[in-house]
Amino acid sequence: MAKHDEGVVTVGRSRIGTFFANTTGIVFGLVMIFPVYWVLNTAFKPDSEVRSFTPTFFPNEFTLDNFKSALGEELFIPSMINGLIITAMAVACALVVGFLAALAIARFSFYGRKAIILVILAVQLVPFLALLIPLFLMLQGANLTNSLVGVALVYLVLLLPYTVWTLRGFISGIPRELDEAAMIDGCTRPQVFWRIILPLTGPGLVATSVYGFIQAWNEFIIINTLNNPQKQNLMAWLLYNQTERGTAWGPLMAGAIITSIPVVVFFLIIQRNIATGLTAGAVKG
Amino acid sequence: MRHGKYPFIIGFLAVPVALYAIFVVGAYLQMFRLSLTDWSGYGAFKDVGFDNFVKLWNDEVVWTALRHNGYLLLLLPIVTIAIALLFAFLLNVGGGSKGGMTRGVWGSKVYRVVFFFPQLLALALVAVIFQRVYGPDKSGMINGLLPDSWEPWLFLADENWALTCILIVLIWQAVGFYVVLFSAGMGSIGQEIYEAAALDGATRITLFFKITLPLLWGNVQVAWIYLGIAAFDAFALVNIMTVNQGGPNNSTQVLSMQIYLNAFKYSQAGYASAIGVVLFFLALSFAWLTLRVTRRDNATA
C-alpha cells in the first residue's frame, strides 16, 4: 500500500486508518482525563450543586468555599508539614545512600555484587503489605512508631531499589575512560566521584528524586498504620477525614487537588525528561 | 587502580546493606517466625507449628481472595499492556509517515501528558475519585450521565461487578506509565527499519506485529511482571473503595486485604503472617515463572 506522492513515503496511509487512529486517541484521551476533570468540576461547586441529581458539567455557581473549608480543617496544615518533612528526609537520604551504592555496583567488581543486585530486584517483586506487621513491631521496639523519623526510614527502604537501579544505569553510561583520564591527571578516586561522576549523573538524580517525591508524598498505608492522627501526612489525613465525616465531596476534592499540586508541579517541570528518567535503568545494561 | 577499592565498596554499601538486612530480610524472617505462632498482635504468644497454614487451607474466605487475585492477575497485565501498546504505537507511528519520518497521531504530545496524569495522582486519590465516578445513585458520575429512565447502576455495591470495577480503576491508573515506557522503547527503534518496511508496502498492522512488538519484547516482559505484582497487591483500592473492606459479601476480597484485616482488625497477627508467607511465595513464583516462560517464547521467536 506504499504510495509515492511527490516523493513522500507514506506508511499504510489509508484515510480510514488515520480517522480510526485519531478517533480512538480522542475517545481514550477523554476517558483518561474525565475523572480528573470531574474532580476539578466538583471542587469548585457549592455543596448543593454537588449533591444535585442533575449533573452539571461546569459549576453554575463558582465557589472557593471548598478550598477554604479544606484548608481550615484542624489537621490539614500540620499534615501537610509532616508530609513535607518525611518526604524531604526520605528522598534526601535515598539520593545519598543510593548514589553511593550505585557507584559501588557500577564502578567496582567485587564478590557478592550479583547477589546484591538480585536482592535489590527481588525486593520490588513482593507486595510490601506482607511486611507491615514485622515492620510495625520493629519500629515499636525502637520507639519509632508515631514518629516522622520512623516513617521516613521505611520510605527510604522503599525508595532505595529504584534509586540504586536507576542511578546504576546512569553511572554505567559514563565512560570509564573519563575516570581514568582524570586519575592520570592527578585526581584521587573520591575526586573522580565528586567532580566527574556526580555532575554527569545529574539528570538521573533529578529523575529519581522526582520519583521518590511522588512515592513518599502519596504513600498512606504505612503511615496510617504506624502513626496516630496527629502525625499523618496529607494523603492519610484526606482518607481519615473522609471516613470520619462521611462524604463531603466538595471539600474532599478540594483537598485532593491541594494534595496533588506539589506532584503535578514537579511533573510539569521535568515532563520532557520523564521517559528518559523512567527507562534509564532498564535500557542501559 | 586495583588496590584500595574495598574501603570504597564497604563504605558505600554498608548503609544500604544494613538497612536491607534489618528492614527487609529481618522483617521477612520475623514474618516467617510469626506465621508459626498464635500471636494476637499484643502480648505473649506461643508456637503452634503449622496450625495457621492448616487453618488457612480450610479458610473459604482466603480461597475466595486467592481466586480474586487470580482474576486480577489474568486480566490486569493483558488488558493494560494491550491498551498501552496500542496507544504507544498510535502516538509514535499511528499518524503514518511523511518525508520518511513516521509520526504519531494528531495531538500526540497532548496525549502523552494526559495519559501520564493518573500516574501522578496517589492511589488514595484515585480511589476517592472513582468512588465518585461509581456513585450508586444519580449524583454519581456515570449514573448521572445515563438517561433518567434507567435504573442507577450499583457498581461497587453489586456483588457481580464490584471486582471488575476495581480492575477498571487499576487499568486506568496503570496505562499511562506503560504508554510512556513503551513509547520510549519505540523511540529507540530505528526510523530506517520503518522506512524499509514502508517501501515494502507494510500496513500499520503489519508494522506493529512484525517490527514494533518483537523489538519491544523486553519491555513487555518487565511490564507483565510489574502489573502482576500490582494484581497481587491491589490493597489500596480495595481498602478505600469497596463496601466493608472487601465486600459486598467478600466479592472484592483479596489476599492483601485479608492480611490487613487479620492483623489489625481481628487480632490474629500470627494468622495474618501466615497469609503473608503465602503471598510472598506466590509473588516470587509468579515473577520467576513469567521470566522462564517468556524467555522460552523469545528463544523460539
B207 contacts on A by Cβ (under 8 Å) = 11-12
Mean pLDDT of the A45-61 span: 71
- pLDDT score for B104: 63
Q: What percent of chain A has pLDDT over 90?
A: 8
- The cell for B161 is 461487578
Tell whether the model's pLDDT for residue B52 goes beyond 60: yes
Of A46, A63, A80, at which residue does a domain stop?
A63
Contact B184 A32 (CB under 8 A): no
- The cell for A85 is 518533612
Q: What is the pLDDT of residues A139-164, one digit of tens each?
A: 888 888 888 899 999 999 888 888 88
Same domain, yes or no: A208 and A250: yes
Q: What is the pLDDT of residues B116-162, one digit of tens each?
A: 777 777 788 888 888 878 877 777 777 777 777 777 777 887 788 88
Enumerate residues 6+ apart whose C-beta is below 8 A from B10.
none
- pLDDT score for A152: 92
Least Cα separation, residue A275 to chain B (angstroms): 6
> How far apart are alpha carbons A136 and B159 in whole angstroms?
33
- pLDDT score for B152: 74
Residue keyed to cell 507449628: B49
Check: CB of residue A211 under 8 Å from CB of residue A226: no
Kindly state whether A100 is in contact with chain B, defined as any CB-CB distance less than 8 angstroms.
yes
Same domain, yes or no: A117 and A252: yes
Residue keyed to cell 511527490: A6
- The cell for A219 is 504513600
A267 contacts on B by Cβ (under 8 Å) = 116, 120
Tell whether the model's pLDDT for residue B262 goes beyond 80: yes
Contact B23 A138 (CB under 8 A): yes
B272 contacts on A by Cβ (under 8 Å) = 133
Check: CB of residue B116 under 8 Å from CB of residue A266: no
Same domain, yes or no: A30 and A118: no
Structural domains counted in chain B = 1
Of A63, A88, A114, at which residue does a domain stop?
A63
Using 50, 70 and 90 to split pLDDT, how confident is the model at A8? Answer: very low
Residue B216 lies in a domain: yes
Mean pLDDT of the B20-41 span: 84
Residue B187 lies in a domain: yes
Residue B84 lies in a domain: yes
Tell whether the model's pLDDT for residue B290 goes beyond 90: no
B37 contacts on A by Cβ (under 8 Å) = none
Residue B29 lies in a domain: no
Three-state SS at A232 = coil
Three-state SS at A4 = strand
CATH at residue A82: 1.10.3720.10
Q: What is the pLDDT of residues B194-222, one digit of tens each?
A: 778 878 877 777 877 888 888 888 888 88
Task: Among A50-64, B41-55, B95-109, name the one with the lowest average pLDDT.
Answer: B95-109
Using 50, 70 and 90 to split pLDDT, how confident is the model at A267? Answer: confident
Same domain, yes or no: A103 and A242: yes
Least Cα separation, residue B279 to chain A (angstroms): 7
Same domain, yes or no: A151 and A80: yes
Residue keyed to cell 521470566: B291
Check: CB of residue A179 under 8 Å from CB of residue A195: no
- pLDDT score for A86: 93
Same domain, yes or no: A28 and A79: no
Residue B40 lies in a domain: no
Residue keyed to cell 492511589: B123
- pLDDT score for A14: 61
Structural domains counted in chain A = 2
Using 50, 70 and 90 to split pLDDT, how confident is the model at A95? Answer: very high
**ipTM of the complex, rounded to two decimals:** 0.78
Three-state SS at A6 = coil
Check: CB of residue A256 under 8 Å from CB of residue A246: no
- pLDDT score for B106: 66
> How far apart are alpha carbons A148 and A143 in whole angstroms?
11
> How far apart are alpha carbons A9 and B204 in whole angstroms?
14
Least Cα separation, residue B294 to chain A (angstroms): 17
Enumerate residues 6+ apart whose C-beta is below 8 A from A88.
none
- pLDDT score for A177: 84
Nearest CA in chain A to B241: A239
Residue B45 lies in a domain: no
Domain range enclosing B190? 51-300
- The cell for A92 is 534526601
Q: What percent of chain B has pLDDT over 70?
A: 91
Same domain, yes or no: A103 and A145: yes
Task: Among A87-91, A221-225, B241-245, name the one with the lowest average pLDDT.
Answer: B241-245
Residue B136 lies in a domain: yes
Mean of per-residue pLDDT scores for chain A = 78
Kindly state whether A240 is in contact with chain B, defined as any CB-CB distance less than 8 angstroms.
no
**What is the model's pTM?**
0.81
Query: Of the candidates A100, A133, A283, which has its C-beta nearest B273's C-beta?
Result: A133
Task: Among A160-164, A244-248, B58-62, name the one with the lowest average pLDDT.
Answer: A244-248
Enumerate residues 6+ apart whose C-beta is below 8 A from A285.
A172
- The cell for B52 is 495457621
CATH at residue B250: 1.10.3720.10
Query: Of the candidates B27, B198, B206, which has its C-beta nearest A9's C-beta?
Result: B198
Of A63, A88, A106, at which residue does a domain stop?
A63
- The cell for B77 is 497485565
User: pLDDT higher for B75 or B241?
Assistant: B75
Same domain, yes or no: A145 and A230: yes
Tell whether the model's pLDDT for residue B227 goes beyond 50: yes
Query: Mind giving me the DSSP string for chain B?
Result: --TT-HHHHHHHHHHHHHHHIIIIIHHHHHHHHHTTB---SSS---B-TTHHHHHHHT-HHHHHHHHHHHHHHHHHHHHHHHHHHHHHHHHHTTT-EETTEE---TTHHHHHHHHHHHHHS-HHHHHHHHHHHT-SSTTSHHHHHS-TTSPPP-GGG-TTTHHHHHHHHHHHHHHHHHHHHHHHHHHTS-HHHHHHHHHTT--HHHIIIIIIHHHTHHHHHHHHHHHHHHHHH-HHHHHHHSTTTT-STTTT--HHHHHHIIIIISS-HHHHHHHHHHHHHHHHHHHHHHHHHHHHHHHH-
Q: Any idea what DSSP says for residue A260?
A: H
User: A12-40: string of b/e by CB count within 10 Å (b at 16+)?
Assistant: bbeeebbeebbeebeebbeebbebbebbe
Mean pLDDT of the B247-273 span: 85
Mean pLDDT of the B238-262 span: 83
Domain range enclosing A170? 69-283
Kindly state whether A132 is in contact with chain B, defined as any CB-CB distance less than 8 angstroms.
yes
Residue B38 lies in a domain: no
Contact A32 B198 (CB under 8 A): no
Instruction: Suggest the residue from B120, B125, B172 to mutate for an interface test with chain A (most A CBs closer than 10 A).
Output: B125
- The cell for A188 is 584521587
Using 50, 70 and 90 to split pLDDT, how confident is the model at A9? Answer: very low
User: pLDDT higher for B265 or B187?
Assistant: B265
Using 50, 70 and 90 to split pLDDT, how confident is the model at A227? Answer: confident
Least Cα separation, residue B280 to chain A (angstroms): 6
- pLDDT score for A97: 92
- pLDDT score for B250: 81
Same domain, yes or no: A51 and A141: no
CA A40 to chain centroid, in Å, comes to: 21
